[in-house]
Structure 1
Amino acid sequence: MKYFRLQFSLVMGVCLAVSCLVSAKAQAQLVCLPAPRLLTTMPMGGQAGTTFEVTITGENIEDADELSFSHEGITATPSLGKDGLPVANKYTVTISKDCPLGIHEAHVMTRLGVSSSRAFNVGRLPETAQTAANTSLETAKKLELNSICNAVMSRQKIDYYTFEAGKDQRVIVDCAAKGIDSKLNPVVIIADERGMDLVVERRGGMLDFKVPETGKYVIKVHGLTYDGGPYHFYRLAVKNVARDEIVPRMPSIRKVSAFSWPPAGLTSEMLKPEAEPNNARAAAQKITLPCDISGSFFPAADVDTFEFTAKKGEVWWVEVASERLGRPTDPSIVVQHVSGSGSEVKITDLVELSDIPSPVKVSSNGYSYNGPPYNAGSSDIIGKVEIKQDGVHHLQIRDLFGGTRNDSKNIYRLIIRKAAPDFSLVGWALHMNLRNGDRNALSKPIALRGGATMPLEVVVVRRDGFDGEIELFMENLPEGVTATGLKIGKGKSRGTMLISAAEGTPRGLTSAKFFGRATINDQVVTRPCFLASMQWPVKNAWSEVPSPRLMADVPVSVSTSEQAPITIAPAEEKVWEVTAGEKLTIPLKHDRRSDFSGANITLKTYGEGFDRNKAFDAPLKAEASEAVLDLATLKTPPGEYKIAFGGYAVVKYSENPKAVALAEIELKQAQQQATALAAEAEKLQKKGDAAAKEAAAKAKTAQADVTKADKQLKQATAKAKPKDIVEIIFSKPITIRVNPAKKAK
């Protein structure tokens, strides 16, 4: 039986260029067309019922005009300068009093559409911000008890804070970093007034401090490796709490694996705590099935033993949540039949349960090389127990990582139930499985160009034996945007959602709703589909570990400043019919808006029932191509299907050429203004006019404007210079009806 396991994670890089598409020189090519990405907000949250200013930074957000949030209780308007005009990247944010506490999402709307998200926290404590360097004991920032400070860690520095407390007070110091999208691994220390360390937390945990004497105390914060910079932000909470109060951690984002928890309809009505001591078999805690138990892997090397009776032929399903609750654990269960007593006791292993496997093969490194860079599996448990004999059974649960971990916060929830077939869904923007080129793991917001179809990969964790097909659908999309789900087939683990924007679609942004629908026990069941994204756009995963997470919403946008490089669609918008066992030829039309490197794009077929269709080449410089589906080879049964064709192409991308034309106009206007002012200054100087000095100053300023406009033109021209970028190209979805073959008479 398995009581110990070492897990190795090899993380290397992401998104490489395709060898069949790209020549050897393509090693330096870029991957994925530019997308807006929100990288930081300062502060990273705020107190419910307050208004404050937020400053943002990001990629491709220079023209951001709207800061929005995943909850309507948080609103923002551009901050205005003394001239009454909006100040770039600054917004006045208001959080309503009734806004739910916890993690929300912030994103900005830009020329290219909606940006990737950044976690934004809403709490009930007053908040401050680090406004000056506090990297020495002498410059320590004073904090009031029951407050939160938003700060950024400086590289190779220690941030100092002070607080005052009375003897025997209980003070909690909690530093949120990884849980709010930060790259910081914080070390937090409480020291005496002279800066001498008293207690230290190096694993990102919470300090629970009993004040020994009334006075001033120091908090020191630094990175585990003394790293820092604008992406190493944190929220430091200092709380005065009651002696017996249970204090939760500050809110945290959720890992991708958490999408499968909790089961639908779970309540706490039957929840009972484990009762220690229950390590030894003789002290096993007696339970009656079904049951719902809360426990903890504490102290170190804890083994919790539960005893129940069951009859031969009974089938029970066991689910454990711990890793999905955000704990660094790896639960393992052994169920055994117990017979006899005393020296005659006989223990027979029945089943060992561990891990929820990933629904699909995950990339063998951190980027999308031979599978998605997202792991939807978990070290938690969903498993079946089939009772072979009547009588007493023992269930033992332990943490395979818990031999030396002495942390009471490593909790778990154990559910034993009769079969309740169900499913959970998560999706993410499809990544390219490329082998040569840049190693990227990019956050990819659903920011559609007109004429584009964006694919989302969707995977399912199935519960308690459910193996039915699942339909995918979306609601509340922007005007002109449609979503077509390529269903997850019976017993399969993967599907595709296609989101398409028609050419000429107006600019728009909505918070879409994403669902899966199936029939279980003759009842139609609808479940939400969570969206996952990379926390950071990792451009070289050789040097940085990609970090995906779940998002709190599904923002979908359309931009009008750019169109898709190419739209591939069926020649006719209709249901394409074919008889089972025959061939279907679908003519495709190409609406090209860009040039491409390479003559062809190799297209694969996506969609249940057709995904084994042989890949084919479509000419990139032609106006049309055709796809052939051989149903004799595919053996696709009669029915109606949704499919699409997708592949990779190297686009000759020119970034925002309109900006060049605008910059040229601004330069010409600046030159004309400068020439006129220079002439006026010279004229006044010759006359000896008293206004000549002021005119000369204006002419000098105008010449500086010319220099600035010339620099902006050069920058815009450099950006607009065509560059090769490998991009995912998907056709519009196609509906196919396979009719039964006629029976021979």
Structure 2
Amino acid sequence: MITSLRTSALIVLLFGMLGTPKFAQAQWPQAKLTSLSRLGSRVGESVDVTLNGTDLEGVHSLWFDHPGLRAFHLKASTFRVVCAPGTPVGHHDVRAVGTYGVTNPRTFVVDDRPDLVESEPNNVLSQAQVVTLNSVINGQITATDVDVFGFDGKAGQRVLFELNAERLESRLDATIHILNAAGRELAECRDALGVDPFLDLTLPADGRYYIKVHDVVYGGSADHSYRLTLSDGPHLDAILPTVATPGVPTSFTLIGRNLGGTPAPDLLIDGRPIERKTVTITPPASGEIDPLTPSRHFLPSQAAPRRGFEYALTLPSGTSNPLFIAEATDPVVLEAEPNQDEHAQMVTPPCDISGTFGAPNDSDIYRFSARKGEVWWIEATAERLGSPADPAFLIQQVVAKAPPKDLGAAEDTPDQGGGAQFGVGSVDASLRWQVPEDGTYQVVVNDLYSSQRGDPRLVYRLNIRPERPDFRLFIVPASATLVDSLTIAAGGRATATVVAWRTDGFAGPIRVVAGDLPPGVRCEPVTIAAGQVMAPVVFEAEEGAKPRVGTVQLVGRSRYGDRKEELGYVSGATKLGPDLSHQAIAGTMIWPPGSPQAPAMAPARVSRGFVLAVVDARPLTLTASPPTFTVAQGHQVNLSVSVARRDGFAEAVTVTAADLPANVVNGTATIAKAETTGTLPLFVAKTVAPGEYTFLLRGTGPFPFSKTPDAQKKPNITLNEPSNAIRLVVRPAPLTLTLNNKGGALKQGGTLEVDVTIARQGGFADDLTVSLVSPPALKLSATPVTIAASQTTAKFVVQAAADSPVGAVAGAAVRAIATVRGEPIEVDEPLVLTLGK
């Protein structure tokens, strides 16, 4: 039933000028972790790690994503980290836990090679720290610093030098140099894997060699840490095919270095020879990414929507870097060269093609037959595979005795709205294409920088598939300006954001439900509205909840219940769409937007689980009611707001709505000092799209605070607390209501005639009633008017009492009440009045 919200004070159009405020981060301290003094450890060993960050007072423990990693507090912000035998090799998340909650994650690497730590001074060759081959050095660059390491090698030995910094969330933009015993430079590298260096060098003679490491501009700080690996172990450059059918044993060709495979004289990377090695791998039965172990290495947000699995080669000399193999959705096809110009490769859609831009100016053509009206999604993927290729493609019609005719093109895929919090746009290309007529067509795919490069690493996947609407779901901290995490005060609330990545035209609502919550924590389901990308999710800790840390798992579903709540649902007639269900993958910003590492868009990555902490109660908790309301387009509502005050907090609280759908006009409310309740007006405009939405309120107020409890002077900070999640269901209005003169001037004791015009829509054709809604304090009245089914206009007379307050009237409206299928549906139009004497 449509709820009638007859409240005493209603918003007027003037509130429409206020807009919806952006999320404002509270100034209450929130622990943040910027870096670690040491970025990893060898399996089975223990190391000491010092934390760098802000608001780390009272830090007492570290949270890791795997039970094989444990930490023991030594002093201040230093911990001894123990890595148990059997702990998986790869990247792990670590978070600090203390007085001000749980921090954002930082990466801690577990390796199977000897793990060393840099020892200063080592700035020049004469001070070089001697290390051994097949080891890892944990280092840190301070301002103007140069780190020098020495090692002994043999003539003909092939050594790989890889420095990890950017991929470990370090601010270091490193350069490495390799020098011989005489100090002559043999090789140098800056940007190879992102901005991280990678060098492949065959040693020319027996003897001592040196590695120099420095920042490209000789900057440095505690946040400029790195891990430098020098090894003759395996390194994977590519795997073909790039896709595989789930559960089916498949032969793969590994392409790389030190693989123990067969030399491939026809293949070179940066002038260096590489090998091929054939292995058989059985992919997992499902390509769905495990939310708790999404990747062994760095997984940027751009690649987060992928499905498939990672593979790494383990040899006695160590474990290789992992590469990603995508889940095939259609029959797998391997590129067959030559396949350009007149040698187009014939394929039959749907198909999943694996290819390589193996040489400069490589352009691959795939030709197929198609029938008029068929709809195909064509997607060229590289970045989501971890490939450095930047694919683009043309769709062409093959014309007899004439050049092919261009019909469409695709390059980069834009972000759908995750933005700084978790941008999922990429350089991969996709396009929906409808066949214009029976005939022969072709997709011409190439690397955007094909004139400048071409080598075996530039692999891609070209998927030609029927339309399969789907989505991926991500959960990230709520702030779009700060690297953040989720800390809830006992008896209070904290928010996160769920982000949907919609594919193949999927535009339906997504119901998001939390599960496996820590004891004492609850989270009401929320809906990402049809066509929308983001929605807030609110976590609540019960009063008296004990401090704890835990993980949360969210599941998004495209169909739920019996769909009778779904807008426009008609039993037996409404197309319900696909029944889809996906777990949310957790994500985090690495550095805030506007930092040197993120001048425009914040870098973000997938994290290993969404972690929250419960801490002691805070001064303010905000609650809104009703938690659910259903209205028609063009309706004014008031939300009741209440606050719980603690720790002597008695100041006024300003309340506004956040995360509102488009065209819902935001009001404001102020709960006065020492008061506990108030009313927030909202106007659901006629232009609000029907659907189900989730939003919340935020309450702000000043509070004297110091980290020193007995401080004599405590400066004010701004409390900024969220309410519970509010569910708004907007129904299509059965009519539109127009006030031809919008109101006017009205004298005390006088009357004002208002012309009302209605336009019935959606099949509504019955009588309706027009009445006045107005705050009692205005002392306005009007006799309800019935507009018969045959009429569209009426005269509506507003009467002011002799003692009505003088001035501009706020909160008055004309309301039309129509009965549709036995339910009263209300449509409002604000009435603009000025009361005079």
| TM-score band, normalised by shorter chain | 0.7 to 0.9
Q: Does 1:723 align with 2:768?
A: no
Structure 1 contact 40–58 (Cα < 8 Å) conserved: yes
Q: Report what 1:558 is aligned to.
A: 614
Instruction: Name the CA distance, whole Å, in 2 between partners of 1:406 and 1:155.
Output: 37
Q: Report what 1:475 is aligned to.
A: 515
Q: Report what 2:826 is aligned to.
A: none
Instruction: Name the CA distance, whole Å, in 2 between partners of 1:630 and 1:536.
Output: 37
Instruction: Name the CA distance, whole Å, in 2 between partners of 1:406 and 1:114.
Output: 45
What is the identity, as a one-letter code, of the residue corresponding to 2:446? R
The structure where helix makes up a greater share of residues is: 1
Cα deviation digits, residues 325-384 of structure 1 (max 9, x gap): 4455542111111121xxx2331112112222221284xxxxxxxxx5543322212322
Q: Report what 2:201 is aligned to.
A: 209
- Within-5 A mapping of 1:175-186: 175-186=163-174
Structure 2 contact 415–425 (Cα < 8 Å) conserved: yes
- Within-5 A mapping of 1:77-226: 77-79=72-74, 87-203=75-191, 204-226=196-218
Q: Does 1:570 align with 2:624?
A: yes
Shift of 1:453: 2.5
Instruction: Name the CA distance, whole Å, in 1 between partners of 2:258 and 2:647.
Output: 53
Q: Report what 1:589 is aligned to.
A: 642
Instruction: Name the CA distance, whole Å, in 2 between partners of 1:515 and 1:613.
Output: 30
Q: Does 1:417 align with 2:451?
A: no
Aligned match for 2:301, one of 238, 256, 262: 256
Q: Report what 1:656 is aligned to.
A: 707
- Which of these two proteins has the greater Rg computed from alpha carbons? 2
What is the identity, as a one-letter code, of the residue corresponding to 1:150? N
Q: Does 1:46 align with 2:37?
A: no
Structure 1 contact 286–306 (Cα < 8 Å) conserved: yes
Q: Does 1:229 align with 2:221?
A: yes
Instruction: Name the CA distance, whole Å, in 1 between partners of 2:644 and 2:388.
Output: 50
Q: Report what 2:354 is aligned to.
A: 294
Structure 1 contact 486–607 (Cα < 8 Å) conserved: no
Q: Does 1:380 align with 2:428?
A: yes
Instruction: Name the CA distance, whole Å, in 1 between partners of 2:483 and 2:819.
Output: 50
Which structure 1 segments of 5+ residues have no match? 1-18, 22-28, 80-86, 363-371, 433-440, 661-716
What is the identity, as a one-letter code, of the residue corresponding to 2:490? G
Cα deviation digits, residues 227-262 of structure 1 (max 9, x gap): 112111110111114799725999642222222223
Higher RCO structure (Cα 8 Å, ≥6 apart): 1
SS of corresponding position for 1:179 = helix
Do the aligned partners of residues 568 and 642 (structure 1) sit closer, same or farther apart at CA in structure 2, a change above 3 Å counting?
A: farther
Instruction: Name the CA distance, whole Å, in 2 between partners of 1:192 and 1:624.
Output: 76
Q: Report what 2:590 is aligned to.
A: 535
Q: Report what 2:383 is aligned to.
A: 323
Do the aligned partners of residues 359 and 736 (structure 1) sit closer, same or farther apart at CA in structure 2, a change above 3 Å counting?
A: closer
What is the identity, as a one-letter code, of the residue corresponding to 1:512? V
Aligned match for 1:645, one of 680, 692, 696: 696
The structure where strand makes up a greater share of residues is: 2
SS of corresponding position for 2:50 = strand
Aligned match for 1:617, one of 669, 689, 693: 669
Do the aligned partners of residues 445 and 338 (structure 1) sit closer, same or farther apart at CA in structure 2, a change above 3 Å counting?
A: same
Instruction: Name the CA distance, whole Å, in 1 between partners of 2:650 and 2:414.
Output: 40
Q: Report what 1:743 is aligned to.
A: 820
Q: Report what 2:445 is aligned to.
A: 397
What is the identity, as a one-letter code, of the residue corresponding to 1:743? V
Cα deviation digits, residues 253-289 of structure 1 (max 9, x gap): 22222222237982499545434444x3123333332
Shift of 1:463: 1.4
Structure 1 contact 112–449 (Cα < 8 Å) conserved: no
Q: Does 1:512 align with 2:552?
A: yes
SS of corresponding position for 1:212 = coil
Shift of 1:539: 8.7
SS of corresponding position for 1:94 = strand
Structure 1 contact 255–326 (Cα < 8 Å) conserved: no
More deviation, 582-591/480-489:
582-591
Structure 1 contact 605–615 (Cα < 8 Å) conserved: no
Structure 2 contact 492–540 (Cα < 8 Å) conserved: yes
SS of corresponding position for 1:246 = strand
Cα deviation digits, residues 618-655 of structure 1 (max 9, x gap): 33533211234556747786x9x674433473533513
Structure 1 contact 382–463 (Cα < 8 Å) conserved: no
Aligned match for 1:33, one of 1, 7, 28: 28
SS of corresponding position for 1:742 = strand
Instruction: Name the CA distance, whole Å, in 1 between partners of 2:455 and 2:608.
Output: 29
What is the identity, as a one-letter code, of the residue corresponding to 1:259? A
Which structure 2 segments of 5+ residues have no match? 1-16, 236-253, 260-294, 310-325, 560-574, 733-817, 823-837
Do the aligned partners of residues 300 and 744 (structure 1) sit closer, same or farther apart at CA in structure 2, a change above 3 Å counting?
A: closer
Structure 1 contact 168–212 (Cα < 8 Å) conserved: yes
Instruction: Name the CA distance, whole Å, in 2 between partners of 1:272 and 1:447.
Output: 48
Instruction: Name the CA distance, whole Å, in 2 between partners of 1:542 and 1:288.
Output: 44
Q: Report what 2:679 is aligned to.
A: 626
Do the aligned partners of residues 636 and 376 (structure 1) sit closer, same or farther apart at CA in structure 2, a change above 3 Å counting?
A: closer
Cα deviation digits, residues 294-318 of structure 1 (max 9, x gap): 3344434433322233333322212
Instruction: Name the CA distance, whole Å, in 1 between partners of 2:406 and 2:638.
Output: 57
Instruction: Name the CA distance, whole Å, in 1 between partners of 2:332 and 2:131.
Output: 39
Instruction: Name the CA distance, whole Å, in 1 between partners of 2:213 and 2:90.
Output: 23
Instruction: Name the CA distance, whole Å, in 2 between partners of 1:311 and 1:495.
Output: 40
Instruction: Name the CA distance, whole Å, in 1 between partners of 2:333 and 2:731.
Output: 55
What is the identity, as a one-letter code, of the residue corresponding to 1:549? R
Instruction: Name the CA distance, whole Å, in 2 between partners of 1:539 and 1:282.
Output: 49
More deviation, 296-305/392-401:
296-305
Instruction: Name the CA distance, whole Å, in 2 between partners of 1:248 and 1:607.
Output: 56
Shift of 1:588: 1.6
Structure 2 contact 588–605 (Cα < 8 Å) conserved: yes
- Within-5 A mapping of 1:432-511: 441-511=481-551
SS of corresponding position for 1:108 = strand
Cα deviation digits, residues 91-121 of structure 1 (max 9, x gap): 3323233322221100111011111111111
Structure 1 contact 486–497 (Cα < 8 Å) conserved: yes
Cα deviation digits, residues 169-219 of structure 1 (max 9, x gap): 221111001000110111122221122111111112421112222222221
Structure 1 contact 596–649 (Cα < 8 Å) conserved: no
Report the identity percentage.
Answer: 26
Cα deviation digits, residues 111-169 of structure 1 (max 9, x gap): 11111111111222221111332111011122222111111113223211122222222
More deviation, 244-253/442-451:
244-253
Do the aligned partners of residues 294 and 239 (structure 1) sit closer, same or farther apart at CA in structure 2, a change above 3 Å counting?
A: farther
Instruction: Name the CA distance, whole Å, in 2 between partners of 1:400 and 1:594.
Output: 60
Aligned match for 1:71, one of 66, 79, 93: 66
Q: Report what 1:709 is aligned to.
A: none
Instruction: Name the CA distance, whole Å, in 2 between partners of 1:248 and 1:394.
Output: 39
What is the identity, as a one-letter code, of the residue corresponding to 1:171? V
- Within-5 A mapping of 1:358-373: 358-360=415-417, 362=419, 372=420
Instruction: Name the CA distance, whole Å, in 2 between partners of 1:268 and 1:99.
Output: 33
What is the identity, as a one-letter code, of the residue corresponding to 1:254? L
Q: Report what 2:402 is aligned to.
A: 345
Structure 1 contact 584–628 (Cα < 8 Å) conserved: yes
Do the aligned partners of residues 653 and 297 (structure 1) sit closer, same or farther apart at CA in structure 2, a change above 3 Å counting?
A: farther
Instruction: Name the CA distance, whole Å, in 1 between partners of 2:663 and 2:547.
Output: 34
Shift of 1:396: 1.7
More deviation, 191-200/454-463:
454-463
Instruction: Name the CA distance, whole Å, in 1 between partners of 2:107 and 2:358.
Output: 31
More deviation, 325-334/131-140:
325-334
